[in-house]
Amino acid sequence: LKTGDRKWVLIYNINTEYEGESAIQVQLLDISERKQAEEELRKHREHLEELVKERTKELQQKITEHKRAEEKIKAQKKFTDNVIDSLPDTFYIFDPESGKGIQWNKTLNEISGYNYEEMSELPPLHFYPPEEHQLIEEAVETTLEKGRALVAVNYIIADGTRIPFEYSLTRIKDAEGKTRICAIGRDITKRKEMEEKLVRSEKLAVLGQLAGGVGHELRNPLGAIKNAAYFLNMVLEQPEPEVKETLDILE
């Protein structure tokens, strides 16, 4: 154009005759607007493709990060499970509302004699004698109220044997914020045996002291009777009321 602007045109050539001679008729069709629309469409398409590429890249990066996070969580869980399974003490997490066991370690399976399926089907109180159920329930209530509790009870394994255990109960929250109780138990058989041995030793010591003074007490019958009554009071853990009253009188 005279103005220097450029236009897109479509040229049509038509064979014809002019004044009896062959001629070519040329027609020009202005398609500038169409070309402009096509160019804008092309730019828009390229822009969309670029946005898609960027978004795809972001999604791929997020997916990669998510997979890494999942792998890290799995690794941490595996490590935690290995640590829990390696504990010499029993580890047991249960729901205080339903009483259902949620997680426990291999040590508990090995000590109890029950496999995983059996443990998952049995309620926690099944493993303790009925006369100790109230003691356990009170310990659970204390844990829910104060966060912690200690309780010593007998654990019944699969063959019916009773093993003295001491449990440390702790109130915890799971990933969903639900209240759970974690019970870590320790076999206190050896401690019980040592305590009983100590009690027997103390009683024997008293008996030795009593025997050492026999010569003197033979010359003092009243003193002998009082010492004998004192010794019987120590040896008899739960004497009958009549016996207890008589011993008190003698002392």
In the chain, domain spans: 35-86, 88-188, 195-249
Minimal CA–CA distance to 224: which of 191, 189, 243, 250?
250
**Can you tell me the distance from the alpha carbon of 56 to that of 50, in angstroms, rounded to the nearest whole number?**
10
Q: Does domain 88-188 have CATH number 3.30.450.20?
A: yes
What pLDDT score was predicted for residue 243?
Answer: 47
Could you tell me where the beta strands, DSSP code E, fall in the chain?
9-18, 21-30, 90-94, 101-104, 148-156, 162-173, 179-187
In angstroms, the CA 232 to CA 213 distance is 16
The whole-angstrom separation of Cα 58 and Cα 119 is 46
With a cut of 50, list the residues of the chain below it in pLDDT.
218-219, 235, 243, 247, 250
pTM of this prediction? 0.56
Q: What's residue 250's pLDDT?
A: 46
Residue 76: how many CB atoms within 10 A of its CB? 10
Q: Report the C-alpha gap between 5 and 73 in whole angstroms.
A: 65
Q: What would the two tokens of residue 156 be?
A: 């019944």
Q: Can you read off the two tokens belonging to residue 181?
A: 């109780």
